[in-house]
Structure 1
Amino acid sequence: MRNTKKAIYFYLLLFIVVVLPANTLSQEYKYEVGAATGTSFYMGDANKTKLYLHSGISGGALFRYNINFNWALKANIIAGNVSGNSEDSGNFFPFDRNINFSRTFTDIGTQVEFNFLPYSDNYSYLGTKPYSPYLFTGVGLTYASGENSIFSANIPLGIGFKYKLKNRINLGVEFSMRKLFTDNFDLLDNPYGIRSSTLKNKDWYSLTMIFLTWDFSSRTDPCHGM
């Protein structure tokens, strides 16, 4: 009986020391802040399938809260531009309607990220890696200026890869598609006169961004995931 109790205490201690920290322990720093730059392009009635057609330049800032090795919350503000020409679409619009447009947009949003690998340049005994691919999604708002300016909610869907250049410095790249809740981003609002659902027949824009961030706000008790 005494040996059984000792065994229970041993495995309980092992769970507390090894298993529990693997699930709750986070990086040494709670937050990241940095900048991002890259390219943007549009997809919609005037561009159904071609990636990076008439691509523009984008840039902005981001803030990330690292919950633990695998999960993070991110906020961003990004400005960029996109353009398009309906003659590139391969479609024929009623009344020979063609549009050549250019948009400058601002994107403000927040996303939740999932790292496929436990991301940290320390705690290698827990299997952490200084790199990881990740997925993200969230919600955002888009304002696009120019002719018939718009303001719309968006849903970002993306994938990325991050790498610890050194302690407190992160380098990464990510690709995302932003689903808009408007069909007027390309100035071709319902060109065929057929109304559709909220999700169908809406415009998208895409961001491919390279970012560099700096960690700050040290965790006072990292062994307990504080």
Structure 2
Amino acid sequence: MTKNKHENSNKIYVLLLIFMGLISSVNISAQEYEYEIGGMTGISTYMGDANKNNPFMSPNFAMGVVLRYNRNFRWAYKANFVVGGVSGDTRKSGNVFPNGQNTSFSRTFYEVGGQIEYNFFHYSDKYQYLGTRRFSPYIFTGLGMTIGSGEETFMGMNLPLGIGLKYKWKDRLNLGFEFSFRKLFGDSFDVTKKTGGLSLDDPYKIESSFFKNKDWYLLTMFSVTWDFGVRSKSCVDSLY
């Protein structure tokens, strides 16, 4: 009898351990994280006087790092650093320049910036009772600084405007894709030489404005990010 009671108590103890382990795993999987960090890679292209119509002409390699703060299921703030290349050739642009001149350029640029994102769905793989989804399209805008290398360097602010799609592949692991325009506050992004030949800095000698004679570059990027920074349970209700 004593032996049976001892065996039964052992079984109960094992069951309790299993139950506690299950509860613990549920608590871990239910954790929500505030931050993401990761990398991104893709292509960068240029639009300006040497390319007016084709957003994917002369693609160059681009890569970067990203840090995101998820304020709630809808809104996020993102900081990024990107290195990429741009190039152009007026002979491919379809434009006619003064005196029939043509030129080409190529340069590496460095960007640091910040954006605010709006998710169309409540983005999370937790709290399904709040209507969350593992994926969401999003839009974003912000402000950044761009520096371009070359004999004639470039430095100026940029205004990012973009769309994207994020997907929580596994717990704490996110996959992303985004396409964005970077509108530059300047017209010399495609000027890499100090002298000689056609200058793409206002080649038609037309008075410049924000909407005219300004250069752009575009980023088409894939990203992988990792969640960190456990959010306190008292903040869960504020995520919605």
Normalised by the length of structure 1, the TM-score is: 0.86
1:186 and 1:88 mapped to 2: Cα distance?
Answer: 14
Secondary structure class of the residue paired with 1:205:
strand
Match of 1:121 among 122, 125, 141: 125
The answer to which of 195-204 and 67-76 deviates more is 195-204
1:199 Cα deviation after fit? 3.5
1:152-187: CA deviation from partner (whole Å, max 9, x where unpaired): 100000000000011100000000000001111112
Runs of 5+ consecutive residues of structure 2 not aligned to the other structure? 1-30, 192-199
Match of 2:186 among 157, 182, 188: 182
The aligned counterpart of 1:29 is: 33
1:15-71: CA deviation from partner (whole Å, max 9, x where unpaired): xxxxxxxxxxxx810100000000010000110011211100000100000000000
Quick check: 1:181–1:199 contact (8 Å CA) kept in 2? no
1:45 and 1:200 mapped to 2: Cα distance?
Answer: 10
When Rg is computed on C-alpha atoms for both structures, the one with the higher figure is: 2
Structure 1 position 205 matched with structure 2 position 217: yes
The answer to which of 151-160 and 178-187 deviates more is 178-187
Identical-pair percentage:
56
Runs of 5+ consecutive residues of structure 1 not aligned to the other structure? 1-26
2:226 and 2:219 mapped to 1: Cα distance?
Answer: 21
Match of 1:165 among 161, 164, 169: 169
1:59-74 aligned at under 5 Å gives the runs: 59-74=63-78
CA RMSD of aligned residues (A): 1.2
Secondary structure class of the residue paired with 2:129:
helix
1:206 and 1:48 mapped to 2: Cα distance?
Answer: 13
Quick check: 1:81–1:103 contact (8 Å CA) kept in 2? yes
The aligned counterpart of 2:83 is: 79
The answer to which of 194-203 and 212-221 deviates more is 194-203
Moved over 6 A (4+): none
The aligned counterpart of 2:136 is: 132
**Number of aligned positions between the proteins:** 200
1:168 and 1:223 mapped to 2: Cα distance?
Answer: 17
1:63-104: CA deviation from partner (whole Å, max 9, x where unpaired): 000000000000000000011101111111112221110010
Structure 1 position 192 matched with structure 2 position 198: no
The aligned counterpart of 1:23 is: none
Match of 1:51 among 47, 55, 64: 55
